[in-house]
Structure 1
Amino acid sequence: MIISDKAGGDLAAFLRIKNSLHDSEVELHRYANTPLPVEQQEFFTGKAIDSQGSTDVLGLTTATLVSSPAALNDKRVLWLRDSYGTAMATLMAATFRETLQLHHNRASQQMLTELIDKFNPEYVIITHVERDVRGGFLTLRPVFEVSHSRDGFSAVSTAVAPQPHHLKATATPDQFAVDGIDPFVVFDLDRPTPTANVFRLMFELSCDSNQEQVPVQLYWHSEQSVFSEANSITVIARNGLNSLSLLANPAWANDAAVTQIRLDLADPAKCSNVAFRNVQLGIVH
């Protein structure tokens, strides 16, 4: 291990203290001149990722397995991280033979359960940038009710103009084939909808694999905001009708009039073809 002095980085330069701030840079001597052999693959699909020998994972939106045959030990580690983990990536790859990596904002309770059941890690390591430590992952979130009935539901606004991402159109109307690691559909609402006036989202899910449980993440934003993890809810949906209560999320009631919503297929391995139909916001009498 080599520890050397370095000047401040980009944040120090932004604060105009780069020349007066000094930091320490840690370099693993064993790998300073010899690249560490690693392989990366999407965990759920097994698809190889061309990382060009990099120990860092660029896309943390889906679970990625980093294998290091020359690591110091053969332990399996589930590493929940963010982009600040880049500085640790080589150290983690040099220490553990297998590290399963995922952004902590994508790690819902259901996703963690599935990852632990399938990967069976010996250690779980969480690294979290300090400024975002109160962002939600390390706090308890409310439980969201999902029912499967339209009884008493009255629509206030309807989702229109679906805009798919990492999804490819099929011959079936409104149905898409998964075509990437971050599949979602953005919908416009036919009218701005104040969150104080609605507390339920209704949608029909069609997943070709007939999975009993499909993690779906709902995002929303108003004209004054953008899609963000803070304004999102992850639930377990199923094929057919899903009715999601939004009452337990304080961020929903605090937002202004919603103009767009987004439905993410939180686990792309669950469906190869997916459709979100009859998406509406409303109330239950």
Structure 2
Amino acid sequence: MMKNKIAVFFISTFLILMISPVFNLATRLPGHTDEHVKWWELSFLYNIDFAMPLVGGLYNLLGISIDPGEVLVGKDGWFFLGDDYVGSISVKRNGMTAEDASTIEKVTANQKKWENWFKQHGVKQYRVLIGPDKDSIYPEYLPEWAAHSPDAVSAQLLKNAPPGVYVDAFSPLLAAKDKSQPLYFKTDTHWNDRGAWIAFMALANNLSKAEPALVWPDVADGDVVAVTDREGGDLSRFQRIQSWTHDQEAVLRFREKFNIPVERYDYESGALLGTNNNLPNLAPRRPELFASPKALNNKKVIWLRDSYGISLSPFMAATFSKVIQVDHESINSDGLTKLVERFKPDYVLYSVVERASRRGLFLTPPDLFATAPNTIGFKPGAKGSVAQTNDVKPADKPNTYTITGVDPYIIFTLAPQVVGSKSHQLAFEFECFNAAEPRIPLQIFWSTPSEGISESNSARFFVKQGTTSVDLSGAPGWPTTEQIVNIRFDIDSAKACSGFSIKNLATGMNVEAASKK
């Protein structure tokens, strides 16, 4: 069988190359205006774009991909995304590696930091919903050579993720796939509305445990009331056969029940971008506010998403009255923290396809200016005592200083000296007198036995008045194996305060982190 496929491949390629010059001269030469391409050049004569749909169709019949990096031809009319997209096929064939284990450790640590940061900034709940790759739900339709390892990377991620934060959509989708029509399009990378609905119900079940007062669409709203034909999806386009390939669209009862008005605004400018009756939408590259006054809950949500959110978007608009949507690859940690501080959402939701769930923001901790407003759970390891001051002088009250110059700072000596991995949480009580802004810019320096205070051993962030705790483990250059000798506390702008008080400076860990060491 394989020999026959190879023979057909070479014969068809040879025939196409034979007729290409004649076809291009007969059809492309009249009206040809590109001065940079001459008709006698090989790039003109042997351009085979005209034959690609024919080639794609022929190869499809033989089970051969026209571009294996883009698309895999599976069994029974199923297509799958190729390895050009973050190596998703190879990752599943190989199973867990040491590199994957290291990545998962970083992802889970950073997501725990995000969860804590969100809580400390008024967000009631943070959830991550991973949309399984199509081949994770339908591996039986893959080519034999692409079979998955039983040691799945995503399973390990869910196992090690912060409790309650990650929503398991894999289990309900796997359980439902044999009970109805497909949950994913055969010719597209994405799930259909029914698949998205099952994942959304998994989110509902998860979030309802923490927020029982939330109202969700009825389970029956996800029933399929019709199945319609549609043109082939993106994978059939990669195979060059989209124009004559068809797929099936599942129509849910939800569509008629929640045909509600939704207004779409540019969040930064407030400009109205349009209104519709709760139609699916692409992931915005800039934050956009989707307002649906008839939603089930008067709640504010920031939703980080990707193209897997297209089918989810009507469900979100029906459930929450104000949702800021933004493509997760179009926003960094700085932009996200500022968005949270400005919008003050009730919930932050992060939905992303499986193959993108271990990169980008998942590997990025909150920026250090995003500090905790309290020290709940803090376990001090070393306490600071004033060793040196600059451009400040003591005021009448203890631990209080007046700024006298352009470079105000205080150096604290820590005792006992503790390694950075066990003293990365910095806590202190701070008050800025006559503050110019609600948030005060600080720069923290540190020294070790081998390195003194320098710009490379420092981190900038903002604080508010009162007790503050900030995790310095995300700061570039924070030492993990060396002891911390000194902490230098800088007011980053002499104009920020006329004076300040600082006391109870200490380094340590939060109780949960300490229990894991």
How high is the TM-score relative to the length of structure 1?
A: 0.49
Which structure shows the higher strand fraction? Answer: 1
Which structure shows the higher helix fraction? Answer: 2
Q: Which has the larger radius of gyration?
A: 2
Q: Which has the higher contact order (CA 8 A, sep 6+)?
A: 1
